[in-house]
């Protein structure tokens, strides 16, 4: 079977796939787009593995026909969701897919293929920053850079999606269990791993005080009964202007707002999403403390921001009332209970420089 375009010929029966792709790459490099596309379209029908062919078709259209480039990138990733070069490119069109880069980075780390992981992590971060995707990574990156933060604590590291995107002089990563491949043989002097629960870690207040923690992320913690004592321990043992980020503070349904995942599953309207009742933690802090500023960004599932600085109590409610606060009562006035703010407040408040 041959390509019979005017300038080239290729015998698919006699030559190897590698030779086919080498020829396609040469045509693309020489800006012979029509010839490259004609060759690749025949290859699409000839070869059983289509992902690489689709990627080369996308490459042929790069800078010439944006819609067709994107179409073939999508076809490539439908055939092979972990096609690295296609993922690295498609996020330029669809930035919301940056998380797929992080999942691939973790997969490569598990497989011991460490050469490309930094490229994937760097691209994921670059996409979030350039497109102003407001989330905990965006806030942490800018705050750490702008405030020259040296000591960072991450409670709920999981597989390191956020951890490896940040550059800090000293990081403590906590999770139980730790899912970081080969964390026991860590060779990065900037990161220390602790295989324990976030709550148990913060109970060791003497050790916590010695770490001079300036910024802390609390992630993958969903229960009021856990997040509140963690934050109280942190506030007593962080540096003077310490900053805490708490994820999952704004549930969007009654099921998602339940105290446990089991309760969420048993609640009408459950749709495979559980955020938990950290909203009670935010409300409790606002009702009981005058030494911290507390608000929730309307980003992700509600990103709680807690910073040590003088303020006034803004909720007039007993702790008993807050403990019993229902989802229906919460959504009646989220601004009151959560001090809910739009995403741009992170700049308007002066916490970050735009």
Q: Which of these, 247, 252, 196, lies nearest to 222 by C-alpha position?
A: 247
Segment 139-178, tens digit of pLDDT: 999 999 999 999 999 999 999 999 999 999 999 999 999 9
Model pTM above 0.75: yes
90-119 as b/e: b if 16+ CB within 10 A: bbbeebeebebbbbbbbebbeeeeeeebee
Kindly list the structural domains of the chain, giving each domain's residue range(s) and its CATH number in brackets, ordered by start. 17-130 (1.25.40.10), 136-348 (3.40.50.150)
pLDDT range class, residue 7, cuts 50, 70, 90? low
Q: What is the DSSP string of 231-287?
A: HHHHHHHS-TT-EEEE-----SSTTTTSSSHHHHHTSTT--S----SHHHHHHHHHH
pLDDT tens digit string along 177-217? 999 999 999 999 999 999 999 999 999 999 999 999 999 99
Task: Write the pLDDT tens digit of every residue in 71-90.
Answer: 999 999 999 999 999 999 99
Going by pLDDT thresholds of 50, 70 and 90, the confidence category of residue 4 is very low
Residue reference for tokens 């802390």? 216
Residue 64 has pLDDT above 90, yes or no: yes
């Amino acid at each position: 079977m041959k390509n019979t375009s005017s300038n080239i010929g290729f015998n698919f029966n006699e030559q190897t796939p590698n030779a086919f792709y080498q020829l396609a790459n040469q045509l693309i490099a020489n800006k012979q787009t029509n010839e490259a596309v004609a060759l690749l379209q025949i290859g699409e029908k000839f070869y059983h593995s289509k992902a690489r062919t689709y990627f080369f078709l996308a490459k042929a259209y790069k800078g010439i026909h944006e819609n067709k480039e994107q179409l073939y990138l999508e076809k490539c990733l439908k055939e092979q969701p972990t096609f690295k070069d296609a993922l690295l490119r498609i996020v330029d069109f669809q930035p919301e897919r940056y998380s797929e880069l992080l999942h691939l980075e973790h997969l490569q780390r598990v497989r011991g293929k460490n050469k490309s992981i930094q490229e994937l992590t760097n691209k994921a971060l670059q996409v979030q920053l350039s497109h102003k995707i407001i989330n905990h990574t965006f806030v942490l990156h800018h705050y750490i850079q702008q405030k020259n933060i040296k000591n960072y604590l991450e409670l709920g590291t999981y597989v390191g999606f956020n951890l490896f995107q940040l550059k800090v002089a000293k990081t403590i990563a906590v999770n139980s269990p730790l899912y970081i491949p080969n964390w026991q043989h860590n060779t990065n002097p900037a990161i220390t791993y602790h295989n324990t629960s976030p709550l148990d870690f913060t109970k060791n207040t003497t050790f916590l005080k010695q770490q001079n923690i300036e910024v802390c992320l609390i992630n993958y913690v969903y229960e009021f009964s856990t997040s509140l004592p963690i934050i109280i321990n942190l506030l007593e043992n962080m540096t003077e202007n310490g900053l805490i980020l708490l994820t999952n503070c704004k549930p969007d349904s009654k099921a998602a707002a339940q105290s446990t995942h089991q309760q969420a599953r048993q609640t009408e309207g459950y749709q495979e999403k559980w955020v938990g009742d950290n909203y009670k933690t935010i409300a409790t802090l606002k009702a009981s403390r005058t030494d911290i500023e507390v608000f929730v960004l309307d980003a992700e599932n509600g990103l709680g921001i807690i910073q040590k600085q003088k303020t006034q109590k803004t909720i007039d409610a007993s702790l008993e009332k807050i403990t019993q606060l229902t989802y229906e009562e919460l959504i009646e006035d989220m601004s009151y209970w959560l001090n809910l703010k739009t995403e741009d407040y992170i700049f308007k408040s002066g916490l970050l420089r735009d």
